[in-house]
Structure 1
Amino acid sequence: MNLVKFNFMNQNNFNKNILYNKNKPPIFLIILTLIIALLCITPALYLLFRSFEIAGGNLVSIILTKNVFLVFFRTISIIFLVSVVSCIVAVFSAWVIEKTDIPFKKVLTLGLILPLVIPSFILATTVVELYSPRGQLQKFLSIFGVDRLPEIYGLPGATFVLVIMTYPYVFLIVRGALRRLDPQLLEASRSLGYGSYKTFFFITIPLLRPAIAAGTLLAALYTLSDYGGMALLRYNTFTVNIMTLYDASINRSLPSILSLLLVFFALFFIFIEYFTRGKGVFHRSTSGSEKIAKPLETGALKWALVLILFLIILLSLITPIGVLFYWLIRGLINGNDLLPLLNPVLNSLYVAFLASFFTVLTALPVAIFITRYKHKLNNFIEFASYIGFGLPGIVVALSLVFLSINLFFPLYQSIWLLIFSYIVLFIPASIGSIRASVLQVNPRLEDAAYSLGKTPIMVILRVTLPLIMPGILSGGIIVFLLTLKELPATLILSPIGYDTLSTTIWGAATEAFFTRTGGASLILILIAGIPMAFMTLKSTRYNIQK
């Protein structure tokens, strides 16, 4: 009787393993991720539909104009400059932090990451205040006979601001990749006669190629979609051009077509990064603790390296915050009251928490699907999910306005339409964080659960989910920060009278009332900075790699 029972149980487990093939995604996961992908490309599909509807057979002739080529060249120029400079700054900083024996590593790491919490439009106002021909630096240098500083508006100022905004993304990704490098590879290189610098350029950099590609993608897409900093520094890219044309309400066909070009830009960058990244294995296949590499002894260069990192932090974090404190004090002296900021603060926290929760909830099945299963829909779902990060908020917002008015009118002018725009815009960042954690989970742990007859949903809930919780929390924090900083979508989709910190700051900045922005800007930076600082100091494996 016991033998029969034993055989029956084995047969039952065998049938379950056939039913729940670990290499084949469950039907519910395929359907769910496909729906999410289709929702993510809704703005792009709208642009395609509107462009052909408006332009008809004249689409090519509209695109091939002198003005469009000029905007195209300006956009490509700043994307190239920002991507290259941010990668150089980030790779150098990450290598110094992770591989050398410099002191104050935690403080320097925090200082290098915290510029993420400063929105580009806030940073642009401080740059104008400091470095413009009539700025504070010019007033100081006039004592020494300097008549006029070079023009900060245009490409130089926009590049400076966007490099500060994007290098922390690359730094986080490269820093995480450096931590995962096998020290034995570097030791083998040195044993073959390679010095520290040859090892860095011929061994470390090639191994960091996927991380550098992922960071460059984020830098390029952020630059492509930025509006606030570009507009304040008067650098006319596709995004600024689109917003200007929409605000003027003169010709709605050209903005739609220019927005469609941005979709192709985003796809192009994602395509390049996808093939540059390659197919790597990121989890450890051996047991035992990881061997920690011995830091490189820098000798007399130690304090020079610390000084270079401090100068980066001075330019990107300390100086802008100092300007904001100056404005705050000046505003309080002139009678500005901080109490009216209470409502925008509460509104910002509310939408940021909602956006963070629902974006992570949406990104989780996508990250698991594209990482753990080989399916013919993988490439489509991955590309579709990442389109939103390459679209400016104005494009996503206006496409959702059109769709809500024509198909889902109850959602028009509602907070939920605003939340959905945040999901479309920021799901790539959340997917990247969760995906990095999934890649670090050894598949053998999930295989063991399948061998015990567990269903796919049980494996995800009981095995995968607890192990990737740090990545989920990191993804949530990243979306929280991005939501606080988002400007165009918030301006367009917020219900009437629903002011947030970003819209309050923008309203004062566009009227050149910079002193009024000090209090709101510092509150926004404080709200965003606390979770970022906590995540940086407590997490030893923080990574946002796509």
Structure 2
Amino acid sequence: MTSFADSKPLSLPLPRFRSGTRGTFVLAIVIAFLALLPLGFVFWATAVTGWEAASQLIFRPRVGELMTNTLLLVLFTVPLATLLATALAWLTERSDLPFARIWSALCVAPLAIPAFVHSYAWIGMWPGFHGLPAGIAISVTAYFPFLYLPISATLRLLDPALEDQAASLGLSDTAVFRRVVLPQLRLPILGGGLLVGLHLLAEYGLYAMIRFDTFTTAIVDQFQSTYNGVAANMLALVLVLCCLVLLGFDAGLRGSRRYARIGSGVARRPRKISLGRWRYVSVLLPLAAIAFALGVPAITLSHWLIAGGAEIWRMDEIGLALSQTLVICVVGGIATTLAALPIAWLSVRRPSRKSRIIEGCYYLASSMPGVVVALALVTVTVRVALPLYQTVATIVIAYVIMFLPRALVSLRASIAQVPAELEQAAASLGRSPVNALWSTTVRLAAPGAAAAVALSSLGIMNELTATQMLAPNGTRTLAMAFWALTSEIDYAGAAPYALLMVLFSLPMTALLHHQSKKISGR
């Protein structure tokens, strides 16, 4: 007698389902072309300018100064953030550090604070803190959680048997970490470092506020002050090349080394290493990191909120900025999630070389700084589609290009949990491919879609550069209002907007921390 468990799954005819796959590929390719628009624009602008004029704009002292600033910023910030994040992750996950769970949550919390709010907080306490040292210090405190999250998650997932075997051979705890644990942290360190590096290249508000010139600040200044499109485009070309070099450098370092073991490993928690007499002294490291990353913004915001009193709470202006921010975040988040749906479905249901190439286009496009995306869309709308210039549609397209990977990651994980047989059954009953997808996979993957919308909306809420350059006249988001007031040295008036951005970002940051714990079953 054949048991139910031994029976093969029912094979259903899928002629219409396959035709739906072709349509999904076409839609995914169209979105990929849209996502690559900024990259194509940069090379088109260079070709139109001509090599002679372009070389004069590229090979000049000003570009050399910007390149030096950018290289120094990346070369100092990424290693320092990596060292800090790795030390904090090891202390909170692998040692008997007091209150480790609390420190773990606090190490992720700085993600709720926009980078330009970090800068605002620091110069609020030290007005003369400017230049490269300020840029490095603030960048490390603002961005180290991007490294802490993947490193700590990896430490929780590592098989402790490997460390036990190394220890049984007589290696000390330090040697075990250096020779066994650290090599397995290569991928999260490289991935987090790449993310931090791309943020450093794209960030505008943080460095403009401390008067530290980077390519992004120079492009925005060039665009806003003289509207010199040619000079801005050439700076954008150099910035894009820096991003591509960073992506290539990361790919080269990753290599093809295998990081997974055969078998499931040992299903137990790793051994906590005793810090001994250093147990309470070690608390000083997370305490100092949190004091700078959370304490400085909290003190500065509290100071300006108290100093401003009730007068700074102009509810009509704040309410308008809040409502416009929420509308743009929701519309942009939904649009980004819908745009990511075709390739998310293809990567799970129809994995192939084509789908991987399309997905790679999405990630490549998202590495383009917001200022480059904005320049591309400004040029395209002015030259080709003038009615779309400074409209909600244009700024939503910019958000889709910039935040596609955030939605893609969440959607792909949720779709993978939905059995493909449900879509096949719906298609065999006569439903169209779109209807079959909507009635089964989309509905069952709704929690992942909601997370995708929330993650995209979080990025949109804190986005400044593209919003400033593309938003319709009269638009005033929380980030735009905050930036306008700080530009007028009205730090007290800007405090309520900063506070609201932090408060609305905290739930999503908590969700990220919860999901990282959930992955490892803790």
User: TM-score per shorter chain, which class?
Assistant: 0.7 to 0.9
From 225, 236, 240, the counterpart of 2:217: 240
Q: How does 1:91-102 map to 2 (within 5 A)?
A: 91-102=86-97
Q: Is 1:405 paired with 2:403?
A: no
* 2:42 matched residue in structure 1: 47
Q: 1-side partners of 2:92 and 2:306: how far apart?
A: 35
Task: Say what the alpha-carbon RMSD is for the aligned residues.
Answer: 3.6
Q: Is 1:35 paired with 2:30?
A: yes
Q: 1-side partners of 2:443 and 2:88: how far apart?
A: 32
Change (3 A) 1:367 1:69: farther
SS at match of 2:98: coil
Q: 1-side partners of 2:25 and 2:173: how far apart?
A: 47
Which 5+ residue runs of structure 1 have no aligned equivalent? 1-8, 134-151
Q: Percent identity?
A: 24
Change (3 A) 1:240 1:415: same
Q: 2-side partners of 1:305 and 1:347: how far apart?
A: 45
Structure 1 residue 13: Cα displacement? 3.1
Q: 1-side partners of 2:267 and 2:303: how far apart?
A: 47
- The answer to whether the 8 Å contact 1:82/1:163 transfers is yes
Matched AA of 2:110: P
Structure 1 residue 70: Cα displacement? 2.0
SS at match of 1:540: helix
From 338, 350, 357, the counterpart of 2:314: 338
- The answer to whether the 8 Å contact 1:47/1:260 transfers is yes
User: 1:199-246 CA deviation, whole Å, 9 max, x = no partner?
Assistant: 211111111111111101100000000000111111111111111111
* 1:103 matched residue in structure 2: 98
SS at match of 2:312: coil
User: 1:35-84 CA deviation, whole Å, 9 max, x = no partner?
Assistant: 22211111121122122212354333432222212211211111121111
Change (3 A) 1:433 1:102: farther
User: 1:491-545 CA deviation, whole Å, 9 max, x = no partner?
Assistant: 11211111111011100111111111111111111111133224424762369xx
Q: 2-side partners of 1:461 and 1:196: how far apart?
A: 53
Structure 1 residue 378: Cα displacement? 5.1
User: 1:285-316 CA deviation, whole Å, 9 max, x = no partner?
Assistant: 86799322232222322222222112101100
TM-score of the pair, normalised by structure 1: 0.82
Which 5+ residue runs of structure 2 have no aligned equivalent? 1-6
Q: Is 1:175 paired with 2:173?
A: no
* 1:139 matched residue in structure 2: none
Matched AA of 1:196: D
Structure 1 residue 258: Cα displacement? 1.2
Matched AA of 2:210: L
Q: 2-side partners of 1:202 and 1:541: how far apart?
A: 28
Change (3 A) 1:286 1:504: same
Q: How does 1:159-198 map to 2 (within 5 A)?
A: 159-198=136-175
SS at match of 2:473: coil
Matched AA of 1:299: G
SS at match of 2:279: helix
* 2:125 matched residue in structure 1: 130
Q: 2-side partners of 1:190 and 1:468: how far apart?
A: 44
Matched AA of 2:88: S
Change (3 A) 1:464 1:291: farther
From 392, 399, 411, the counterpart of 2:369: 392
From 177, 186, 192, the counterpart of 1:200: 177
User: 1:422-452 CA deviation, whole Å, 9 max, x = no partner?
Assistant: 11112233335556x479x69xx96998999
Q: Is 1:500 paired with 2:495?
A: no
Change (3 A) 1:500 1:170: same
Q: 2-side partners of 1:95 and 1:11: how far apart?
A: 45
Q: 2-side partners of 1:193 and 1:463: how far apart?
A: 55
TM-score of the pair, normalised by structure 2: 0.86
* 1:144 matched residue in structure 2: none
Larger mean Cα displacement after TM superposition, 530-539 or 174-183: 530-539
- The answer to whether the 8 Å contact 1:328/1:519 transfers is yes
Q: 1-side partners of 2:439 and 2:363: how far apart?
A: 28
Q: 2-side partners of 1:270 and 1:370: how far apart?
A: 22
Matched AA of 2:154: A
Change (3 A) 1:368 1:224: farther
Structure 1 residue 344: Cα displacement? 0.6
